[in-house]
Structure 1
Amino acid sequence: MDRIPSLGLLLSAESLCGRRTGVGNYTLHLWRNLSSLPDIGSIQLFAGLHRLTPPDSGGPVRRNAPVCGAPKAATPDDGAGAPFWRVLARQSRLADAAYRAAYRVRFRLAFERAGVPRDRACYHEPNMIPRPFGGVTVSTFQDLAWHRHPEVHPVERLRWIERHLPRALEQTRRIITTSAFTRHEIVSVLGVDPARIDVVPLGVDGRFHPRGPDETAPVLAQRSLSPGGYLLSVGTVEPRKNLGRLLRAYANLPSALAERFPLVVVGASGWLNSPELASMEALERAGRLRYLGYVDEAELPVLYAGARAFAYPSLYEGFGLPPLEAMASGTPVLCSAGTAMAEVVEGCGLQVDPLDEGAIAEALRVLLEDDGTAERLSALGMARAAGFTWERCARDTLTTYRKALGLTDGNA
């Protein structure tokens, strides 16, 4: 293929401004790996109309001054304290259309001043709903959990998606999704032409790899843990992660097994999670659980590598990065059947019905008691995870940009 001239990229990066979870990690690795590709001439990270200073070592980014007259932020729920014109835009369709048109102009001018070439510029929104923009837009749809499981999402978020999704689908020239499972969901639920959708799987960072006891023990000792002596679960504590059923299944394990392998839960507290927090507190009092909350990216790979097994019976996922990170770390995995995780794990872990607490408990027992099964799944998981790289994710994402800009025939 002839070399295609470099293009400019506008990459939305609100998810890098605080503690990073799934979308933030995706955005960070995408930025890092796209930056090394010769066909990318420039990348501008932004949040709203603020340009962002890229992180030097994986930490949060810094917001610079607005590049073009950015308005003040509005209150998320009722707009109290927001400028009059923004409140009006929420109450009137005509005013809303005028607001979005003005925002598109601001957006274009802002990044023209930042030096992004208009004829080869692509805006990528990693979190489904793009900002109003008059140029070429690519959006990543991580999943359709808000549609499949609306009961586990805050009402305000559902209303926001319902309001902005039609515009997002109209504005977005090409859609990226991270699994064939989610591609099928987008086609069947939203009626999107499958020819507009590219499946670009995520990658796994090289920090996630097997580590011996000599390497993990010093870090684990600070948490009163020992190598191979605990069961790990990682994810935001919110209903979709199905932590409640995992906790009940774990509580039904034989006492001696639970005492030998305490459950370690890693993840920030999310929303609608009072029952889960209460159950964790009870298990903590019994000495069977450690809730570590959000841990930094230096400690997380050690926790993965030091675990006897990893449990992730989420109700619904569009990909399933934590199981992939566990597999890359040499840790055998339990995950849910029937979602994108089955596509990612592909026979290299134990898959269960996430609604069946008995099945979850039995799979936990196998992973914690059966050394042969654990060793076999560990080897299979490492081999499977080796095929998922962020470099490949970036290259395939660049191909989508080219398609969106009309710089390829679509067969690249």
Structure 2
Amino acid sequence: MVLHDSMTSNRPATWGSGTNPDPFPAARGKPAGRSDRRTRVLMELRPCFDGYAGIPQETRLLFGAFAASSDFLMGGLLNGAASNAGARADTASDPALRVFSQAGHLIALDNGHTPASLLRRIGNRTIGSYTAERLSVLRRAREIDGLGTTLDPEVFGDWIWMRLMRLGLEPEQRALIERGKFIFPRMSWGDAARLATLNSRARTTLDMAASGWDIHLAHTPSPYRLRGGKLVVRYHDAIPLLWPHTISHAWQHARSHYRMLKANIADGAWFVCTSEPVRDDLLRLFPKAEKRSIVIPTMSSGAFRPEPRPAAQIQSIIKRGRDAGASKLRALPSAKTDSLPGASAKVDNQPFIMAVSTLEPRKNYEMLMRAAAVAHRRRDGGFHLVMVANPGWRSEREVALLRQLVNENIVYHLSDVSTHDLRALYTAAHAVICPSRAEGFDLATVEAMACGAPVFASDIPVHRWVCGDAVEYFDPYDEDRLSNLISEVVSAPRKEGRLADLADQGLRRAGLYAPSVLEPAWHNAMDQVARA
């Protein structure tokens, strides 16, 4: 499925349009012998433990969209990344014992581990915790999970909402979400991934047939094999394989991504890619996935929309975010002992350009900061670079430069910015700069456009596909050109001419990624997978 390139259309193209034909065969009816004809979707909720933006945000939006539909019965797989002791089926007749057991699983998810057994503690002391953990996982090779351990949403509804869903959904959706079914897997995602990376035949099996699920929707290549049901992988990018030099633990990520992806394709999984360039990367790696791969763009939250605020309020948002950002920089293990004096300078009312993402090499923030610093010194000030960013993979160089420019009062580094405040910053920004060298989608471009900000993006295939003619492009390897571009942008009037035209085009383009546009495409895709 490909979205119309038209800047005036808010309708997705029909299945089979464009260069990406409908890969699903004609419907042949729902499974027989079941009175409830809804498609039963078990969605991986692991991303919900990882924050707000990007994949976690879309996970919540998709869960909410499916839960609101009368055509689907939604379930959430609570497969955190950390090791657990193994959830067991709900067989206890004592209600208090069942609640106690579920509470223990929740505590393990929140803490990242369960209390070690006596045998594990002995192993940790005799052969080391790393080896003992791996041996414990190997003992459970080829385990079959009947998906029988459920979480009672009436008892633990507050945990479901506050821990998993509240950051991306509206309060009125809470009751709807809590009607879903939530399941603890017997093996955590992290342990299942270790087995799958070691040997695909050792993978944990999710018994979809016994538990009545039609589809398992995973948000990365999945470490599980299925007994019954269909696997749908939401494929975000091939960065662990194509850009290993930009991520931490590169060999581990590349190996696990490759082996799980290869196993999923061998099992006949379907792939829903976030963009056409991502699908191209998938097919470059595994051409046989062509007939089982489609494109549905990443869904943007409706919370992003223009919200003008008085200048004093914008300054207050920047000050609060800068205080939180300074605290995070000081807390880094690599932090120096200085107190970041630049982080306490007065926030002025000068124009600002803005960037929103994680600090890591492929995001190209080092070049953006150097270019902004050159432009700032050339102009003797007159603007600031506002960066809403937390340190990520291999970000030591970026953090060191960031600290320097914070102290020079060139960069305002913000952290812990709410959605409400972020859309106000987007709206107030003179422009938003998206400098990445590699992306699977880059949701910040859409968020910024949806808030009426002029966007300037690096000239990479994903940005061209997502943004079309609604942004201006620059070479992500040409620092001098970017510095000159920044000087031009901050000198231009915000409400007329070049920047005003970009803001208008961006608002129209952002409408293509609204939930109301993309939900029907998802419903169609999942329904056809279930009927295949």
Separation in 2, partners of 1:131, 1:385: 35
Q: Secondary structure of the equivalent of 1:347?
A: coil
The superposition leaves residues 164-206 of structure 1 with CA deviations (integer Å, 9 ceiling, x where unpaired) of 2211222352100111111122112322332211110123222
2:459 aligns with 337
Aligned with residue 217 of structure 2, among 119, 124, 129 = 124
Q: Which residue of 2 aligns with 1:348?
A: 470
Matched, 1:141 2:266: no
Deviation at 1:83, TM superposition (A): 6.1
Within the candidate set 186, 191, 195, 2:282 is matched to 186
The gaps in structure 2 that reach 5 residues or longer are 1-26, 31-36, 81-85, 89-101, 117-123, 142-192, 320-346
Deviations 1:300-358 (A, max 9, x none): 22221221110111011121210110011111111111221111111111111111112
Give the match for residue 209 of structure 1: 305
- The correspondence of residues 12-411 of structure 1 with structure 2, limited to 5 A, is 12-47=44-79, 79-82=130-133, 84-87=135-138, 96=199, 99-100=202-203, 103-105=204-206, 108=208, 112=211, 117-118=212-213, 121-134=214-227, 135-154=229-248, 155=250, 156-214=252-310, 217-224=312-319, 229-255=351-377, 257=379, 259-371=381-493, 372-406=497-531
Task: Provide closer, same or farther for how the CA distance between residues 281 and 201 of structure 1 changes in structure 2, counting only shifts above 3 A.
Answer: same
Q: Distance in 2 between matches of 1:29 and 1:45?
A: 16
Alignment size in residue pairs: 383
Amino acid across the alignment from 2:525? T
Give the match's secondary structure for 2:391: coil
Structure 2 CA distance for partners of 1:152 and 1:241, relative to 1, 3 Å: same
Q: 1:92 to 1:349 in 2, by over 3 A?
A: closer
Contact kept? 1:208, 1:305, Cα under 8 Å? no
Assess if the C-alpha contact under 8 Å between 2:222 and 2:261 holds in 1.
yes
Cα distance in 2 between the residues matched to 1:35 and 1:161:
29
Percentage identity across paired residues of the two chains: 21
Is the 2:350–2:384 Cα contact (8 Å) retained in structure 1? no
Other structure's SS at 2:216 match: strand
Cα distance in 2, alignment partners of residues 354 and 321 from structure 1: 18
What whole-Å deviation, never above 9, does each CA across 1:233-272 have from its counterpart, x for those lacking one? 1111111101111111111114375732211111221121
1: CA distance between counterparts of 2:392 and 2:300? 24
Code of the residue aligned with 2:137 in structure 1: it is R
Q: Which moved more, 1:255-264 or 1:13-22?
A: 255-264
Instruction: Summarize the Cα distance change of 1:228–1:27 in structure 2 as closer, same or farther, 3 Å threshold.
Output: farther
Contact 2:436 2:476 in 1 (8 A): yes
Q: Amino acid of the residue matched to residue 286 of structure 1?
A: E
TM-score, normalised to structure 1's length?
0.82
1:369–1:142: structure 2 CA closer, same or farther, 3 Å change rule?
same
Q: Partner of 1:386: helix, strand, or coil?
A: helix
Q: Is the 8 A contact 2:47 2:219 kept in 1?
A: no
Aligned Cα RMSD in Å?
Answer: 3.4
- Which is greater in Rg? 2
Letter matched to residue 243 of structure 2: H
Matching residue's letter, 2:287: G
Kindly state the Cα deviation for residue 370 of structure 1 after the two structures are TM-superposed: 1.9
Distance 1:91 1:122 in 2: 23
1:376-411 per-residue CA deviation (whole Å, 9 max, x = no partner) reads 10111111112221233232122222222225xxxx
Match of 1:6 among 22, 35, 38: 38
